[in-house]
A and B are shown apart, each in its own frame.
Chain A
Amino acid sequence: MMQIRQRPDPTLALVPSRPPTAAGPAEVLTTIQVSNLSIVFDTPQGQVIAVDRVTFSVNQGEFVCIVGPSGCGKSTVLNTIAGLEVPYSGEVTVDGRPMQRPRPDVGMVFQQPHLFPWKSVRSNIAHGPRMLGKSRGEARAIADGLIEMIGLGRFADAYPHTLSGGMQQRVAIARALANQPRVLLMDEPFGALDAQTRSVMQDNLLELRERIDATVVFVTHDIDEAILLADRVLIMSAGPGRILRDLGVDLPRPRSNAIMLDPAYIALKKDCLDLIRSEGRRAFEQSTAG
Chain B
Amino acid sequence: MRRLNILIGALSIPLFLAAWEVVARSGIVNMVLFPPPSIVAVAVLEWIRSGQFFSDFGASLYRVVTGFTLGAIAGVALGVLTGQFPLVSSLLSPIFHVLRPIPPIAFVPIVILWFGLSEAGKLFLVFWGVFFTVWLSAHIGVQKVDRGLIRAALMLGTPRRQMLQEIVLLGALPYIVVGLRTAVSISFYTLVAAELAGAFSGIVYRIEIAQQNLQTGQVMGGLAALGLMSFVADRMFATVAERAVWWR
Contacts and interface: CB of A to CB of B under 8 A. Distances in A.
Interface of A: 82, 84, 102-104, 106-108, 110, 112, 114-119, 127-128, 131-132, 159, 161, 172, 175-176, 178-179
A131 B155 contact: no
17 contacts: A82-B155, A84-B154, A84-B155, A102-B155, A104-B156, A106-B155, A108-B155, A110-B148, A110-B151, A112-B148, A114-B146, A114-B152, A116-B152, A116-B167, A118-B247, A131-B159, A161-B248
Given A116-B167, A117-B247, A102 B154 contact: yes
Nearest to A125: B156
Contact of A114 (B151, B158, B162): B151
Contacts of B173: 118
Nearest to A111: B148
Main secondary structure of the interface of B (DSSP, over half): helix
B170 interface: yes
B161 to A, nearest CB: 10
A273 B155 CA distance: 34
Contacts of B146: 114
B183 to A, nearest CB: 22
A128 B148 contact: no
Interface of B: 146, 148-149, 151-159, 162, 166-167, 170, 173, 246-248
A118 B246 contact: yes
A104 B162 CA distance: 15
B246 A127 contact: no
A145 to B, nearest CB: 17
A159 B158 contact: no
Contacts of A161: 247-248
Which of A103, A127, A161 is most buried by chain B, counting CB atoms within 10 A of its CB? A127
Given A110-B151, A114-B148, A114-B149, A175 B156 contact: yes
Given A103-B157, A118-B247, A131-B157, 18 more contacts: A82-B155, A102-B155, A107-B156, A108-B151, A114-B148, A115-B152, A116-B149, A116-B166, A116-B170, A117-B247, A119-B247, A127-B158, A127-B166, A131-B158, A132-B157, A175-B152, A176-B156, A178-B156
